[in-house]
Structure 1
Amino acid sequence: MSRTFDDARSWAEFGTALFLQAADLDDAGLDAPSALPGWTRKHLVAHVAANADALGNLVHWAATGERTPMYTSSEERAAGIERGAGMVAVELATWLRRSAEALAAAMASLDDAQWQSLVVTAQGRTVPATELPWMRSREVCVHAVDLGTGLTFADLPTGFLAALGYDVVAKRTKEHGPALRLEATDTAASWELPGEGEPTVLAGPVHEITAYLTGREHVLTAVDGGPAPTLTRWL
């Protein structure tokens, strides 16, 4: 599926609103475990707030030409999340909202030429700034579910889920794992992953397939009744 720049900006806006609403909890709620192993909801909120600040660095790079990495180091990134996890709910919510608003405003200020500027992601990929809304949409949409407040992948836009499926499959084709064929029963989307043995066929709604591909909770089974093969970590 070919996602457009406007699609990604729309999904980033949608996901940000969804995450802000899901994260509107008191200290007890935020201190509860998230769906990510070893992280409380405060860890996850801090991660999303820090991601907005980090993407803001790349927007600054695109706007000015000044090389501004997302993070100075992986250690600095982890330390920032731990600091956020120790904040009280009001302080953490202020950071989350402020960082989201600052990123949205910075993106809105880029002109057409600046959007084409090349920047480098935290994974070392060189991409045009037009990729930044897609990167943000993945963060806020997927992590809104990871907060564990009742949202599921079924609450995310179908177009986003299909685009995410293609994105994850493109990454996973470089891995060594089981051969798979995935068929979305509610859209025309399908994916194939090369690998070992005869392909295992998995069919179901696109939200279940995308949850499976990203390593989240799902109910998929193989069409022959067997379990869905275990995948390596996505990101």
Structure 2
Amino acid sequence: MTDSLRTFADARAWARTGTELVLAAVADLDEAGFAADSGLPGWTRKHLVAHVAANADALGNLVRWAATGEETPMYASAEERASGIARGPSLTADELRAWLAASAHRLAEGFDALTDDQWQHEVVTAQGRTVPATELPWMRAREVCVHAIDLGTGTAFADLPDGFLTALADEIRDRRGLSGLPDGPLPEVVAWLTGRPHSLADAPGLGPWL
């Protein structure tokens, strides 16, 4: 599958799937579980959950931009993005779960409320890319699906939809400028592409992605 075959409906469905996986991953974590290391260096699960929750709020800003035409950046500044992540360790497990669920619900409601015309309005991502609002569900799908694995509670790349894995592999291969991919199961190839642990033999090391 190439990016041209990744449909808007696919992205909406994958964003819902990833959100369900993230919410399920933290449903039974106690304070010690939240304070444990995530799969991302230097981040506990509290940092990671705060990042995913803040990402939903930030994407919600772009939804409002698409809906109203009023320029609303994802983050007011790089410091604002960092402060959202840093807020995580100061919150209790229940507070983090509530923020994660509420922010995801608000974003889903925002998606549902956009009209066909509003979905075509252009917005600017935190990386400075100008994209139609139809790209927002894909952006959210990447965040929740990959970070559900980074939480380290048992979710693996093999648990993600094949179509999502193929679309993600295509995108990262192109952005990394790779001419080919190593042989192996698709979930392991995607784990390698994202800089996560994998079982591929002799695959060169890649830096982290997302």
TM-score tier (shorter): over 0.9
For the pair 1:19 / 2:30, whether they are aligned, the reply is no
Partner of 2:180: 181
Partner of 1:49: 53
Counterpart among 122, 126, 131 of residue 126 in structure 2: 122
Counterpart among 35, 38, 49 of residue 34 in structure 1: 38
Cα offset, 1:60, TM superposition: 0.1
Cα offset, 1:150, TM superposition: 1.4
- Secondary structure (helix, strand or coil) at the match of 2:183 reads strand
Partner Cα distance (2:195, 2:86) in 1: 24
Partner of 1:176: none
Trace 1:135-214 onto structure 2 (pairs within 5 A).
Answer: 135-173=139-177, 181-182=180-181, 202-214=182-194
CA RMSD in angstroms comes to: 1.0
Q: Residue type matched to 2:199 in 1? A: V
- Secondary structure (helix, strand or coil) at the match of 1:127 reads strand
Cα offset, 1:145, TM superposition: 0.2
Partner Cα distance (2:179, 2:60) in 1: 37
Partner Cα distance (1:77, 1:28) in 2: 25
Cα offset, 1:233, TM superposition: 3.0
For the pair 1:230 / 2:210, whether they are aligned, the reply is no
**Higher strand fraction (1 or 2):** 1
Counterpart among 60, 84, 95 of residue 99 in structure 2: 95
Cα offset, 1:84, TM superposition: 2.1
Show structure 1 runs of 5+ residues with no match: 174-178, 183-201, 222-226
For the pair 1:64 / 2:68, whether they are aligned, the reply is yes
Show structure 2 runs of 5+ residues with no match: none
- Secondary structure (helix, strand or coil) at the match of 1:203 reads coil
Partner of 1:4: 7
| Greater RCO (Cα-Cα under 8 Å, separation 6 or more) | 2
Partner of 1:191: none
Partner Cα distance (2:47, 2:207) in 1: 22
Partner Cα distance (1:50, 1:105) in 2: 16
Cα offset, 1:180, TM superposition: 5.3
Partner of 1:79: 83
How does the TM-score come out when normalised to structure 1? 0.86
User: How many pairs are equivalent?
Assistant: 206
Give a deviation string over 1:117-140, Cα, whole Å, max 9, x none: 000000000000000000000000
Q: Residue type matched to 1:148 in 2? A: G
Cα offset, 1:33, TM superposition: 0.3
Partner Cα distance (1:16, 1:69) in 2: 23
Partner Cα distance (1:234, 1:83) in 2: 23
Do the aligned residues in 1 keep the contact of 2:196 with 2:208 (CA within 8 Å)? no
Give a deviation string over 1:47-82, Cα, whole Å, max 9, x none: 000000000000000000000000011111111111
Choose 1 or 2 for highest CA Rg.
1
Partner of 1:192: none
How does the TM-score come out when normalised to structure 2? 0.96
Identity of aligned residues (%): 65
Trace 1:100-119 onto structure 2 (pairs within 5 A).
Answer: 100-119=104-123
